[in-house]
């Protein structure tokens, strides 16, 4: 049990006694004037001056010294009092100031008395030392704030630590976690679903974040005293991942003063800082009582701002440029928050000040925009940059995706690519890059990997709700970044006559077990020698034992107390101790650094992926090696989330006209394809996973089968030829930037592009310098002509829309929408059947995706919502405004529907405006927009059922940051090979409290994914040529891409299941992680704290695990885990287990329902629900429940 520490008592400014005050300050009235910041309250009570003490004999006379003038918040001869009744100010005369006692200064001469008492032996006279009272550096008010800030940042929030920490690589680790951190176990959820939870969540008074038990555990787990280097906070949507990391990092800072490094995508830095203002240190939060202090009124304020508050000079320079008064805002922690009542100008200034402080206190790194040249400077000139730090990596899947594939050529020499730069695998000791003094450079992904893996005495907290994006080896990369490489030594002990191997084994085991710095050890016998392999305990820690010589765990002693700190030094100590026992060891040892999991694609997949069955092999090995690296919490509480009522895969057969267009596009592609890109049908089962790798590793995977994939959505009329891109640049213009890296919530893709293009170009230049294979140059000369051709085609089709794109034409035989796009027709039909709004997603931006879908909507009477005017003064276009104003005038039957086209290419201001409009957030919209909506009658009903906007269409760029409200349908126009992307699209509509404005029975979302297929009837009619049937096996490009997605999804979900089962807090969070749809069986191997869980050498671990039969728990593969529909960060909340309390024979039990209808009973005090004490099942004869209580365990 970890008891909490007592909290300190806060005091108000007004309760602080004044020992040194400004002249006239004592004349201030006792009352405290609150209200606007324009008049600063005095905050001090009137006090009498203390009576002077009798002076000693005048042996020392200081020179007269004028009292130092100090100020309150306003350096004026009179105090201004604000009158609430008249709104005016009045002056109050001040009483004479009390003069402080004289203070000695260095200029004051020291006079020694002429007649000194007689001395036994005369000695030379010396000047007497006089202790001078310490003068406050700042004004009294600021001194008080300084004291409060210091108390906040020095507060130790931790519970009492255990005497020692069991390492992650011991079998007793899980038992240690459950026993030591049991107080952080989540209690069983009891009772019915709270349908008003969202209203309570946003209730007034929520001015700061509440620390939940699973967040408190993360903070305790990564404390400085623990040997646990890093953890992935794999927490679901709405669980407060960022606040968990902030709390953990600030706690370490408070107790160790370690620097804090935050790594995010460029566009998420402000989001992270915003989170700090909500759940960071109290003085970083917006919700405080703020007092404005002009620098001109307090000469100590600027120094205070810089030295105490860490406000950079650039902040004041910005105030000057804006021609604003130089001010700072300080907190009065004893008063309630006044932030919400302040003028907007002050709110903005306070927010800017906090942002400036946080940026000066925390090192922010945009890992998608940091250049390799900067990283090389750190690696060569500042190799300790990431040492002794708390490193937070937000949306870590973006970073591991950047590393995947890129780091391999530097770590291993595969021989497949002739490189000018030799491989530099990880070795023991600090990395010394070979390219420090040459112009060549490494790619930034490899530099990041080496710097993070090699960080000494640091804690790494990685955040992600979707930790795996594309490839299985991303898990290996992540594990190595969190844990670091394991340094090991292999010592050779030659076989000697008269020294039996048993003696060597006994002595080696005794020495290695007792040595405080030896971690894992193992002796292996060879023909002519014995090999002693051992690793080193993490730097700063040593092993400790109890009085009976039982291993207790690791104790933190600091880097200076943990020598030897290198594996080479440790080898010499062990060798000397063995020699002292008569065991001779060869002076030459093999030193190596071992990854926790392979970071290379081939190595990882060879050991853990079964490519034929698309399953995970060596699950137990994988689970063991993930021990202690993951914290998992499902999040997405049921009462806060809408329910997905349908998630259907909808096959859409081609029409006779559209199949002709598809086959023409496919024949063109087949003529261009290489056999390596398009495997033959007979090879596809064998090459299932290689297909996934091949397509995903293309420079621009979205260009693969571009023409036929587009034709799966829409085929142009015969008299309107489709313009095609002339090259990759044109194609990017057509598709937008299709990147498989998923940015986090509120990502700003445009900003990411601006920040990362230069870094990407630098990587491309490095590629060109490293490899003899020169990349094809790209040009943008064709972009403008291609744009013009697209615009011309769209204009032509828009004029024809009402004639050929009608969903249900009134005239028989007339062209209709399904003829050119059966997909568009199916989507539009379902939208018209819905009573709410809809989200439509396509990866095609301008034509066959959301561009032409908009034209089809207009052909069926929809009006586009268009915003014109400047960014500062946006307004509706005349057509849009007219549609809105006539919406209720015409009546619901004839009212026009509207749609928004959201491509993600708009400016940030315009994107925010469109989303706020769709969500009907009138409080966030410009005045002229709000005026039209109010006058048209939308203020009361908003857009709950699509009255303002029925449809919002987005692309991949738009999928990366939206948070939509009240969406009832999601339409995914085509499959995508990365299932994370489509899951993310669903997550735009399924958000925390996104449907709270609707009645409970309408808080549902229907999801449809469309796939073009060739019907059997079409094949029977011989409308499909033999080339398509032979080469493609009758599989459309939609189906082909969908198959890749399903194969990737199967592997990804299996890995995510293992990660959840291996989570360090699996047993603590089981009551909320387990649902009727998914039961997570926590991985656990019985054993003692002294038994090793795994061999750091992976291949040895695999062999040993295969031989071992000592596992007390079933293998993870036997765990009952239902298929996971979507990743945790975007998944809808599954129906959580509704546990109830049942009284049986006067005793209360927790009743836990199971999918088969039975009920398992637990003791009411058993928070972890570890040991059932009975069950209730239905008697088939009576149809009633029967209760069975198990006999007590002795």
Residues 6+ apart with CB under 8 A from 486: 535, 593, 594, 595, 596, 1096
- Indicate the helix (H) or strand (E) that contains 759: helix 749-770
Show the tokens assigned to 15: 């309760």
CA distance 271 to 453: 26
What H or E segment, with its residue span, contains residue 345?
A: helix 344-361
Average pLDDT value for residue range 731-735: 53
pLDDT at position 313, please? 94
Contact partners, residue 1106, CB within 8 Å, separation at least 6? none
State the average pLDDT over residues 230-250: 93
Mean pLDDT score, 758-767 = 61
The whole-angstrom separation of Cα 1066 and Cα 1070 is 6
Give the pLDDT band (50/70/90) at residue 1142: confident
Q: How far apart are CA 782 and CA 729, in angstroms?
A: 8
* Domains of the chain from N-terminus onward: 486-594 (3.30.70), 1140-1189 (no CATH)
Mean pLDDT of 221-247: 94
pLDDT band at residue 1078 under the 50/70/90 scheme: confident
Q: CA geometry: angle at 743 spanning 739 and 748, to 5°?
A: 95
Taking all residues of the chain, what is their mean pLDDT, rounded to a whole number? 80
Report the share of the chain in percent with pLDDT over 90: 52
pLDDT of 674: 56
Residue 484 has pLDDT above 70, yes or no: yes
Question: What pLDDT is stored for residue 692 in this prediction?
Answer: 60
Mean pLDDT across the stretch 182-211?
Answer: 69
Peptide bond into 464 cis (omega under 30): no
Q: Which of 632-641, 645-654, 1022-1031 has the highest mean pLDDT?
A: 645-654
pLDDT for the residue 86 = 37
- Answer yes or no: are the C-beta atoms of 576 and 439 closer than 8 Å: no
Q: For the segment 806-816, what is each residue's pLDDT rounded down to a tens digit?
A: 988 767 767 88
Give the pLDDT score at 35: 37
pLDDT of residue 1114: 41
Percent of the chain with pLDDT over 70: 75
CA distance 703 to 709: 10
Encoded tokens for 800: 């024809």
For residues 1136 and 968, the model is more confident at 968
3-state DSSP assignment of residue 599: coil
Residues 578-604: tens digit of each pLDDT: 999 999 999 999 999 999 999 999 899
Q: Tens of pLDDT along 372-405?
A: 999 999 999 999 999 999 999 999 999 999 999 8
> Could you tell me if 266 and 371 are in contact, meaning their C-beta atoms sit under 8 angstroms apart?
no
Distance between CA 225 and CA 775 in Å, rounded? 50
Distance CA(8)–CA(643), nearest Å, equals 44
**Which of 1020-1026's residues contact partners 24+ apart within 8 Å by CB, and which partners?**
1023/656, 1023/659, 1024/659, 1024/663, 1025/663
Structure confidence at residue 1046 (pLDDT): 87
The two structure tokens encoding residue 536: 């080193």
Q: What is the pLDDT of residues 32-57, one digit of tens each?
A: 333 334 333 333 333 334 444 444 44
Q: What is the pLDDT of residues 873-926, one digit of tens each?
A: 999 999 999 999 988 875 555 467 999 999 877 887 898 899 999 999 998 899
For residue 4, name the pLDDT band (cuts at 50, 70, 90). very low
Q: Measured in whole angstroms, how far is the alpha carbon of residue 625 from the centre of its chain?
A: 23
**Residues shown for the chain:** 1194
Q: Three-state DSSP class for 339?
A: helix
Q: Walk across the sheet containing 459-463 and list its strands.
A: 363-366, 259-264, 389-393, 459-463, 230-235, 630-633
> What single DSSP character describes residue 493?
E
pLDDT score of 482 more than 50: yes
The CA-atom distances, in angstroms, between 566 and each of 381, 425, 479, 512 are 22, 18, 22, 16
* Average pLDDT rounded to a whole number, residues 820-825: 96
- Label each residue of 399-422 as H, E or C: HHHHHCCCCHHHHCCCCCCCECCC
Tell me the average pLDDT across 605-634.
92
Instruction: Give the closest residue to 910 by CA, choosing from 953, 876, 937, 878.
Output: 876
Is the pLDDT confidence value at 1009 over 60?
A: yes
Question: Of 738 and 844, which is predicted with more confidence?
Answer: 844
Instruction: Please report the pLDDT score of residue 862 as a whole number.
Output: 95
The CA distance from 359 to 353, in Å, is: 10
Question: Is this prediction's pTM over 0.85?
Answer: no
Q: Quickly state the pLDDT bin for 164 (edges 50, 70, 90).
A: very high
Which DSSP string corresponds to 136-190?
PSS-HHHHHHHHHHHHHHH---PPPPPSSB--TTBTTHHHHHHHHSGGGSPPPPB
Of residues 764 and 726, more confidently modeled: 726
Residue 641 CB: number of other CB atoms within 10 A?
A: 26
Interatomic CA distance for residues 506 and 524, integer angstroms: 13
The predicted-structure confidence for 1154-1190, as pLDDT tens digits, reads as follows 767 788 888 876 655 667 888 888 887 777 888 888 8
How confident is residue 1130, by pLDDT bands cut at 50, 70 and 90? very low
């Amino acid at each position: 049990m970890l008891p909490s520490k007592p909290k300190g008592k806060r005091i108000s400014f007004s309760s602080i006694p004044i020992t040194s005050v400004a002249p006239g300050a004592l004349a201030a009235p006792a009352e405290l004037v609150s209200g606007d910041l324009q008049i600063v309250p005095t905050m001090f009570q009137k006090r009498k001056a203390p009576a002077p003490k009798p002076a000693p004999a005048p042996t020392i006379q200081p020179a007269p010294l004028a009292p130092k003038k100090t100020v309150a918040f306003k350096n004026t001869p009179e105090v201004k009092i604000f009158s609430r009744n008249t709104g005016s100010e009045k002056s109050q005369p001040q009483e004479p100031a009390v003069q402080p006692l004289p203070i000695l200064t260095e200029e004051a001469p020291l006079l020694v008395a002429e007649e000194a008492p007689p001395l036994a032996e005369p000695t030379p006279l010396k000047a007497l030392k006089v202790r001078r009272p310490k003068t406050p550096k700042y004004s009294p008010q600021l001194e008080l704030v300084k004291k409060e800030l210091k108390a906040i940042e020095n507060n130790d929030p931790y519970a009492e630590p255990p005497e020692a920490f069991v390492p992650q690589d011991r079998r007793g680790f899980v038992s240690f976690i459950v026993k030591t951190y049991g107080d952080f176990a989540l209690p069983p959820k009891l009772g019915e679903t709270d349908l008003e939870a969202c209203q309570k969540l946003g209730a007034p008074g929520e001015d700061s974040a509440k620390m939940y038990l699973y967040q408190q555990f993360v903070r305790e787990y990564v404390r400085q005293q623990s040997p646990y280097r890093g953890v992935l906070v794999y927490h679901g949507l709405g669980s407060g991942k960022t606040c968990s990391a902030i709390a953990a990092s600030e706690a370490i800072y408070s107790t160790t003063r370690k620097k804090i490094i935050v790594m995010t995508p460029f566009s998420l830095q402000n989001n992270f800082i915003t989170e700090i203002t909500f759940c960071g240190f109290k003085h970083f939060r917006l919700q405080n009582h703020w007092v404005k202090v002009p620098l001109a009124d307090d000469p100590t304020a600027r120094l205070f701002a810089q030295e105490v508050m860490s406000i950079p000079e650039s902040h004041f320079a910005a105030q000057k440029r804006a021609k604003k008064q130089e001010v700072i805002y300080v907190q009065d922690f004893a008063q309630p928050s006044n932030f919400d009542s302040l003028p907007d100008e002050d709110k903005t200034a306070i927010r800017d000040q906090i942002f400036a402080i946080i940026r000066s206190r925390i090192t922010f790194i945009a890992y998608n925009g940091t250049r390799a040249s900067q990283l090389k400077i750190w690696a060569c000139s500042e190799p300790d940059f990431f040492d002794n730090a708390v490193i937070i990596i937000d949306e870590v899947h973006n970073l591991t995706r950047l590393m995947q594939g890129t780091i391999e050529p530097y770590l291993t020499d595969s021989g497949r690519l002739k490189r000018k730069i030799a491989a530099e695998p990880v070795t023991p000791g600090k990395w010394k890059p070979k390219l420090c003094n040459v112009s060549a450079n490494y790619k930034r992904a490899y530099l990041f990997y080496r710097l993070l893996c090699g960080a000494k005495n640091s804690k790494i907290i990685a955040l992600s709700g979707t930790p795996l994006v594309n490839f299985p080896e991303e898990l290996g990369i992540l594990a190595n970044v969190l844990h670091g490489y394991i340094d090991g030594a292999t010592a050779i002990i030659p076989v000697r006559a008269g020294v039996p191997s048993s003696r060597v084994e006994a002595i080696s085991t005794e020495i290695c077990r007792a040595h405080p710095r030896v971690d894992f050890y193992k002796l292996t016998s060879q023909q002519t020698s014995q090999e002693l392999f051992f690793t080193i305990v993490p730097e700063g820690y040593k092993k400790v034992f109890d009085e009976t010589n039982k291993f207790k765990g690791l104790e933190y002693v600091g880097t200076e107390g943990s020598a030897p700190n290198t594996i080479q030094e440790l080898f010499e100590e062990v060798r000397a101790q063995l020699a002292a026992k008569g065991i001779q060891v060869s002076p030459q040892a093999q030193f190596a650094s071992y990854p926790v999991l392979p970071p290379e694609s081939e190595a990882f997949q060879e050991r853990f992926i079964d490519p034929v069955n698309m399953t995970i092999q060596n699950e137990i090995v994988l689970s063991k090696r993930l021990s202690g690296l993951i914290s998992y919490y499902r999040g997405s509480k049921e009462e806060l989330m809408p329910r997905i009522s349908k998630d259907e895969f909808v096959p859409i057969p081609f029409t006779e006209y559209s199949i002709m267009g598809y086959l023409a596009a496919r024949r063109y592609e087949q003529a261009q394809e290489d056999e390596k890109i398009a495997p033959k049908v007979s090879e596809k089962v064998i090459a299932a996973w290689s297909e996934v790798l091949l397509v995903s590793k293309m420079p621009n995977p979205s260009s693969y089968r571009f023409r036929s994939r587009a034709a799966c959505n829409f085929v142009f009329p015969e008299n309107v030829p489709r313009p095609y891109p002339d090259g990759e640049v044109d194609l990017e213009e057509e598709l937008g930037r299709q990147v498989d890296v998923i940015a986090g919530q509120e990502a700003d893709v445009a900003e990411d592009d601006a920040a990362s293009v230069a870094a990407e170009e630098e990587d491309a230049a490095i590629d060109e310098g490293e490899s003899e294979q020169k990349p094809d140059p790209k040009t943008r000369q064709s972009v403008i002509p291609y744009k013009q051709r697209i615009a011309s085609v769209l204009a032509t089709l828009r004029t024809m829309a009402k004639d050929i794109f009608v969903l249900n034409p009134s005239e028989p035989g007339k062209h209709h929408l399904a003829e050119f796009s059966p997909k568009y027709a199916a989507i539009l039909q379902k939208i018209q059947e819905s009573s709410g709004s809809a989200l439509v997603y396509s990866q095609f931006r301008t034509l066959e995706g959301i561009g032409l879908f908009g034209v089809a909507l207009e052909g069926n009477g929809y009006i586009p919502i268009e915003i014109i005017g400047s960014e500062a003064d946006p307004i509706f276009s005349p057509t849009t405004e007219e549609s809105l104003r006539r919406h209720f005038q015409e009546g619901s039957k004839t009212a026009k529907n509207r749609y928004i086209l959201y491509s993600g290419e708009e400016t940030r201001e315009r994107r925010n405006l469109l989303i706020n409009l769709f969500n009907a957030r009138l409080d966030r919209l410009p005045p002229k927009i709000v005026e039209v909506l109010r006058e048209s009658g939308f203020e009361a009903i908003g857009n709950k059922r699509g009255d303002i906007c029925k449809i919002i269409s987005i692309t991949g760029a738009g999928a990366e940051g939206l948070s939509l409200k009240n969406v009832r349908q999601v339409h995914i126009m085509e499959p995508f090979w990365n299932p994370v992307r489509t899951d993310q699209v669903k997550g735009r509509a399924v958000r925390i409290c996104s449907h709270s404005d609707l009645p409970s029975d309408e808080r549902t979302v229907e999801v449809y994914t469309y796939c073009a297929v060739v019907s059997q009837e079409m094949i029977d009619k011989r409308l499909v040529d033999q080339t398509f049937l032979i080469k493609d096996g009758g599989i459309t490009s939609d189906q082909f891409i969908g198959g890749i997605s399903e194969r990737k999804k199967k592997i990804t979900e299996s890995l995510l299941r293992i990660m959840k089962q291996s989570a360090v807090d699996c047993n603590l969070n089981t009551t909320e992680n387990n649902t009727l749809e998914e039961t997570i069986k926590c991985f656990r191997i019985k054993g003692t704290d002294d038994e090793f869980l795994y061999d750091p050498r992976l291949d040895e671990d695999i062999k040993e695990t295969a031989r071992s039969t000592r596992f007390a728990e079933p293998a993870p593969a036997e765990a009952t885990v239902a298929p996971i529909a979507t990743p945790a960060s975007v998944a809808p909340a599954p129906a959580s287990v509704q546990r109830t309390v049942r009284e049986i024979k006067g005793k209360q039990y927790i009743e836990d329902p199971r999918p088969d209808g039975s009920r398992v009973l637990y003791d009411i005090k058993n928070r972890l629900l570890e040991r059932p004490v009975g069950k209730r099942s239905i008697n088939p004869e009576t149809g009633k429940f029967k209760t069975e209580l198990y006999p007590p365990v002795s």
